[in-house]
Amino acid sequence: MLLELLTAGGLAKLLGAVGLVVVTVIMHAAGFSALLRAMIRSHALDTSGFWRITWLLVGLTCWLMLIHLVEISVWGLFYFWQGCMPDAPDAGSAIYFSGVTYTSLGYGDQLLAKPWRMLAPLETLTGILMCGLSTGLFFAVVSRFMSNFMKRRTR
C-alpha cells in the first residue's frame, strides 16, 4: 500500500487527498466564521428564554449540518469527477458514499476503486475532526446559555 502511494500516480492521488482535506477545513472555518459573526452581531449568545434558545439551537444545528453537507458533496463530486467509483456511475451514488464515509457510518455497500481506497480513511478522519469541531461549538454555545442563566438566576 505504501509503495503504491509513492509511485507517480499514487503521489498525485495523495496530493489530491491532502487538497480535499485542506478545502474541507477551509470550508468549515469559513462556515464557522460566518456563523459566529452572525451570532455576535445579533447578540444571540446573550439570549434567554426557553423558546428563543431552542430556536437558536435549531438554527445552529441547521447551519452546522449545511456546512457538513457541502463538505460531503465536495468529496463526493471529487470521487465522481475522478471516476473513483466504478460501480457507481452517477454523482448521487458518489455523494452517498461520501456521506457514509465522512460520518464514519461505513456501510460498505460501495467501495472506491483500488487505487483510490486510501481516500476513504482520510475522509473519515477529516469528517470526525469536523464533526468534533461542530460538537465543540455546540457545547460552547450551550455552556454560554447556561452561564447566562445562572448569572440571571443569582441576581
Cα torsion 67, 133, 29, 103: sign: negative
| Residue whose C-alpha is closest to residue 90's, from 106, 110, 104, 60 | 110
What pLDDT digit, counting tens, does each position of 133-145 carry? 999 999 999 888 8
pLDDT at 50: 83
CB 122 within 8 A of CB 21: yes
pLDDT-derived band at 8, boundaries 50, 70, 90: low
Q: pLDDT (tens digit, 9 = 90+) per residue, 31-64?
A: 999 999 998 888 887 877 788 888 999 999 999 9
Cell reading at 51: 423558546
pLDDT at 95: 94
Mean pLDDT in the chain?
88
Q: What is the pLDDT of residue 108?
A: 80
pLDDT tens digits, one per residue of 99-152: 999 999 988 888 898 888 889 999 999 999 999 999 999 999 988 888 888 887
> CA dist 45 to 11, 28, 152, Å?
46, 20, 14
pLDDT at residue 7, rounded to an integer? 61
**pTM score, two decimals?**
0.87
